Structure 1
Amino acid sequence: MRHLANWSILGLTLLFLIGPFVIIILAGTSAGNNLAFPPEGMSMKWYLKVFTIESFRTSFALSMALAVFGTLAALVMGIPAAYALNRYDLPGAETVRTIVAAPIIVPGIIIGLALLRYMVVPLDVTVTMALFMAHTALVLPYAVRVVSSSMQNLRVDMEEAAVLLGCSRMQAFTKVVLPNIRSGVLAAFILGFVTSFNQVPVSLFLSGPGVRTLPIDMLAYMEITFDPSIAALSALLAFMSLAIVFIAERLLGFSKYV
């Protein structure tokens, strides 16, 4: 009886987690012209149509660029910050950690509204640049935390030995520290990429005419069209995210860092 209860709970949990994905995947295969479940027949035409919609292609390219370059910018700032927080006894280090974590703690709607009101409008920043800065700021906490976690497992005496053997601090960092935290840096990049690509609240405030990320473009598309192509695109994005995380887990042991 206990085993039956355990399996029932497990089954209900899996249904709760996986059920929405199954519904979206099947809804995208509908042969009808309206988004519905159960699907009206079976067809792959809506999955093919996704690639023919110009706005999706444009917004996908923008989301990819923001995710890649925003995450790289966050790593450029986050790796030195993580190094300083881990290697030096800095005054106010805990306060700095709290400030860095603020974009995770504060709701995205507040961040988007604040950036729009006090940066984009007064400084007349372009929409693309505003999105880039916002996505970089949102990914930065993940870069600092994941790299810090990786750096805590690196023995300090390895770096000190390199300095004693004639390396400068910069050389010791590039030749000893950085290669040994490479997996952590890659894990931070993947986590930041997925977070940036799927970002909605901040992008909703900062997107402008003709410049929209893919999630915002999907919302706008659903306001005027309710065909199964939006379900097909959602399924494709879900598969892309799952594939990235699966590959990261297999190659890097992703779960060690998050």
Structure 2
Amino acid sequence: MISRFLQWTVLALTIGFLIGPFFIIVAAGLSAGESLAFPPQGLSLRWVIKVFQIDSFRDSFLLSMGLAIFGTLAALILGVPIAYALARYKLPFGETLRTIVSAPIIVPGIIVGLALLRYLVVPLNVEVVAALFAAHTALILPYAVRVVSASLSNLRSDIEEAAVLLGASRLGAFFRVVLPNIKSGILAAFILGFVTSFNQVPVSLFLSGPGVRTLPIDMISYLETTYDPSVAALSALLAFLSIAIVFVAERFLGFSRYV
């Protein structure tokens, strides 16, 4: 009895530690007070409504959406062939290539952002949006390669070989046989890349410029001058959006099989 009680206690404390901050942010965003505080000073939707009235939030949201969508698409265009080559062929230094592709995950984001700023943006005078796009694509690429590789590992290679023996070219077999069978993995990689890019902070912090900021960076800048609950309300909305995306992906794609 005591052992079961301890197990449930530890479980409850762990769950509370993990999701407690989320409930605090939601409650703070629904506060009727004038400043960010917990417990909330009454309940109101005024700060949720104000989120949609702040011009900088709208502009940075559109930028973050564009970077997340097109950066993920670019990472998939690069990552799918890389994953296929690593999964189907015994390449020389294959493990080294895997490590290089995974470097943006292994190296802290602050170092990646500083390196891109010092050796890409400044010497080449690259536009801020272009630098952000390149950085987000590079950050998403390892996830695309890993998730698509997991999907390819579940696809028998003899199915593709059968298509080749029946007269299909290697490229035709890829598009007609391989690609349709790994589409769930590609969609899962897109969702993971989208969420990762949209919530990216360290790299975006270094590469943002005057008038060009992603939504997380804009939220940090907003808190430097204003301390009302609108940022908490926006954080809650973004958390609900991320949860909804992951829930739908798990429900229809079996997201957990790939990550």
Match of 1:183 in 2: 184
Q: Distance in 1 between matches of 2:56 and 2:202?
A: 20
Match of 1:233 in 2: 234
Q: Distance in 1 between matches of 2:153 and 2:30?
A: 47
Q: Which runs of 5+ in 2 are unaligned?
A: none
Letter in 1 for 2:121: V
Root-mean-square deviation (CA), in Å? Answer: 0.5
Match of 2:82 in 1: 81
Letter in 2 for 1:50: V
Q: Distance in 1 between matches of 2:212 and 2:110?
A: 19
Match of 2:57 in 1: 56
Q: Distance in 1 between matches of 2:155 and 2:138?
A: 26
Q: Distance in 2 between matches of 1:93 and 1:211?
A: 39
Q: 1:161-186 deviations in whole A, cap 9, x for unaligned?
A: 11111111111000000000011000
Letter in 1 for 2:119: Y
Match of 1:155 in 2: 156
Q: TM-score, normalised by structure 2?
A: 0.99
Distance apart, 1:2 and its partner CA:
1.3
Match of 2:166 in 1: 165
Letter in 2 for 1:244: I
Q: Distance in 2 between matches of 1:89 and 1:162?
A: 21
| Pair 1:33-2:25 in alignment | no
Structure 1 moving runs of 4+ over 2 Å: none
Q: Distance in 2 between matches of 1:245 and 1:42?
A: 28
Q: Distance in 1 between matches of 2:166 and 2:100?
A: 37
Distance apart, 1:3 and its partner CA:
1.4
Matches within 5 A, 1:62-77: 62-77=63-78
Match of 2:245 in 1: 244
Q: Distance in 2 between matches of 1:61 and 1:120?
A: 22
Q: 1:190-242 deviations in whole A, cap 9, x for unaligned?
A: 00000000000000000000000000000000000000000000000000000
Q: Distance in 2 between matches of 1:73 and 1:42?
A: 43
Q: TM-score, normalised by structure 1?
A: 0.99
Q: How many residues were matched structurally?
A: 258
Distance apart, 1:110 and its partner CA:
0.2
| Pair 1:114-2:120 in alignment | no
1:52 alignment partner, SS class: coil
Letter in 2 for 1:113: L
Letter in 2 for 1:187: A
Match of 1:134 in 2: 135
Q: Distance in 2 between matches of 1:254 and 1:112?
A: 29
Q: Which runs of 5+ in 1 are unaligned?
A: none
Q: Distance in 2 between matches of 1:160 and 1:31?
A: 64
Q: 1:88-143 deviations in whole A, cap 9, x for unaligned?
A: 11101100000000000000000000000000011110000000000000000000
Q: Distance in 1 between matches of 2:43 and 2:183?
A: 45
Match of 2:208 in 1: 207
1:190 alignment partner, SS class: helix
1:232 alignment partner, SS class: helix
Q: Distance in 2 between matches of 1:88 and 1:6?
A: 47
Match of 2:48 in 1: 47
Q: Distance in 2 between matches of 1:234 and 1:162?
A: 49
Letter in 2 for 1:51: F
Q: Distance in 1 between matches of 2:87 and 2:9?
A: 45
1:33 alignment partner, SS class: coil
2:52 alignment partner, SS class: helix
Distance apart, 1:255 and its partner CA:
0.4
Distance apart, 1:36 and its partner CA:
0.3
Matches within 5 A, 1:217-232: 217-232=218-233
Distance apart, 1:257 and its partner CA:
0.4
